Amino acid sequence: MESRNTSRYLITLLVVALSGMLSSTAIADKDIMVGHLTYHTGDYGSFGPFFDGVTDFTLAVINEDPPLGRRMSAIHQDIGTIGEERAVKKLLNIGKVEIVLNVAHEYLSYRDYLLKRISFLKKPLMPSVHGGAIDAMYGGNAEEPLFRGSPMDSAQSAAAMLYIKNSGKKSVVLVATESAGHLLQMEAAKKSAERLGIQVLKSMVIQDDWTDYSSVIEEIAEVQAEAVAVFSAPRSGGIFIKNAAEAGNSWFLVGTSEWQEQDFVKEATIEAVRKHEAVVMSAYAHARSPAWGYYKNAAEASDQIDVIGDVANSYALQYYDLLVASALAIEKAGKIDASKWASAMFAVTAGGGELVYSYAQGLAAIRAGKEINYDGVTGSMEFTDTGVVAGLFGIFEWASEDSVVQVSTADGDVVAELGQE
């Protein structure tokens, strides 16, 4: 009897082991599905091809030797019409994605749903280029595996105010659309201006879908500020610049990284831009390191280069670094698991490990059993304990209808200090 029971036990163990092997093989053969929250419609619809292109380019780099031997494939889901919450649920329930890329402005409306799902399934992972719009108190742990690919949106405001101060301007008018991210930026700009001794003469909230801002321009002209900071989407920002020039004004204007998109200069026209004292954008710069060379060569050789355009675009840099770091952390974690991945994100981007500048370098080092520290095209990828990344800041302008150039840098330490509550 004892021999029979032992035999049954061994058979059971064999069945379990074989089942596990088959399951592991099935998973290994299955792509890691990335649900990419993007825009194909709405005010940001023109961004879609670019966002999709830089995602596909980066995944192609990763898929030359993917983490865990599993290719990463993207489902590009428009949120311009149906909104974030419906898009996320569609990606999870129909697309069966294991990664949701780019939770953003509407995140808090469906956060509880995601956290419950993660508590049971240990996924999705949540890297986000647009996570700077989400309060810095959220993310960075196993329960909420949100890691941002850009600094907080408020940091752009601090960099903008610092540039205004360094340009010798002593007063400013602040203008923002009703977008949550733009309002956050305006509030941050008020605090930074106060700390820098810049007088805020007026704060105004405008509608993003207006086709004419002439009445707003008139109000601003009356207060005679030395600078105007505008937090808006590309189209509305372009209309604002053009209306101001048409009214005979020549202002010192500072916008955000969104103004790097072609929609801005198309609406504004380069002629209107040149009528102003200055039209610049506070955005993110790239590091001058080997990472830039690896990235630039790969991007320019990619079949996505036509939709990416300027490889130095802030969004392109951030997408690339965040996806590379995420893939390296998946390899380090050994599987798609929120708790293991969250700790791995810290492990592969900080500490005393071997300094690596590309996905291939990092992957080889991890597989050799080494600790790594990935420094990307955006510089150090070190995260705070809630998943907020640092950044390099620059000031940019449109040199022509087709070219954006960097005209200045912003001291990152001062920006960080200004951004502190």
* pLDDT tier for residue 42 given thresholds of 50, 70 and 90: confident
The yes-or-no verdict on residue 7 having pLDDT over 60 is: no
Q: Give the model's pLDDT for residue 214.
A: 97
Give the helix/strand (H/E) hosting 99: strand 99-101
User: Of 104, 113, 93, 30, whose CA–CA distance to 66 is shortest?
Assistant: 30
- Note the helical H segments in 133-268: 153-166, 180-196, 214-223, 234-246, 262-268
Q: In the predicted model, what is the mean pLDDT of residues 297-303?
A: 97
Whether the predicted pLDDT of 284 surpasses 70: yes
Strand pairing class (403-410; 393-400): antiparallel
pLDDT tens readout for residues 98-142:
999 999 989 999 999 999 999 999 999 999 999 988 989 999 999
pLDDT confidence tier of residue 17, bands split at 50, 70 and 90: very low
Joined together, the tokens standing for residue 192 give 């930074």
pLDDT of residue 253: 98
The helices-and-strands tally (H runs, E runs) of the chain is 16, 15
Q: How far apart are CA 161 and CA 198, in angstroms?
A: 8
Overall average pLDDT of the 52-58 stretch = 98
Residue 290's pLDDT is what? Answer: 97
Task: Answer whether residue 5 shows pLDDT above 80.
Answer: no
What pLDDT is recorded for position 410? 85
> What is the pLDDT, as a whole number, of residue 121?
97
Angle between helices 290-301 and 48-62 (to 10 degrees): 110
Of the given ranges (26-35, 289-298, 373-382), which has the lowest mean pLDDT?
Answer: 26-35
Q: Higher-confidence residue: 419 or 156?
A: 156
What is the distance between the alpha carbons of residues 283 and 37, in angstroms, rounded to a whole number? Answer: 21
Those residues with Cβ within 8 angstroms of residue 65's Cβ, 6 or more apart along the chain or in another chain: 360, 363
Give the Cα separation of 151 and 149 in Å (integer).
7
- What is the per-residue pLDDT across 310-359, written as a single tens digit (0 to 9) for each? 899 999 999 999 999 999 999 999 999 999 999 999 999 987 899 999 99
Average pLDDT along the chain: 91
Residue of 274, 188, 269, 189 lying closest to 227 (CA atoms): 189
Of 229, 230, 241, 236, residue with least CA distance to 209: 236
What percentage of residues in the chain have a pLDDT greater than 90? 78
Domain boundaries, the chain: 153-282+400-418
Q: Are 88 and 37 in contact (CB under 8 A)?
A: yes
Q: What Rg, from alpha-carbon coordinates, does the chain have?
A: 24
Burial environment of residue 350 by CB neighbours within 10 A (0 to 12, 13 to 18, 19 or more): middle
> What pLDDT sits at residue 311?
94
Q: Higher model confidence: residue 36 or residue 19?
A: 36
pLDDT at 418: 81
Residue 23: predicted pLDDT: 44
Q: How many angstroms from the chain centroid is the CA of residue 332?
A: 22
> Does residue 176 have a pLDDT over 60?
yes
Q: What pLDDT, on a 0 to 100 scale, did the predictor assign at position 391?
A: 83
One-character DSSP codes across 18-85: HHHHHHHHHHHTS-EEEEEEE-SSSTTGGGHHHHHHHHHHHHHHHTTS-GGG--EEEEEEE-TTTHHH
- pTM given for the model: 0.83
pLDDT the model gives residue 420: 61
Tell me whether the omega of the peptide bond preceding residue 66 falls within 30 degrees of 0, making it cis: no
- Beta strands 227-231 and 171-177 are parallel
Determine whether domain 153-282+400-418 maps to CATH 3.40.50.2300: yes
Instruction: DSSP for 312-367, please give it.
Output: T-HHHHHHHHHHHHHHHHHHHHSSS-HHHHHHHHHHHHSSSSEEE-SHHHHHHHHH
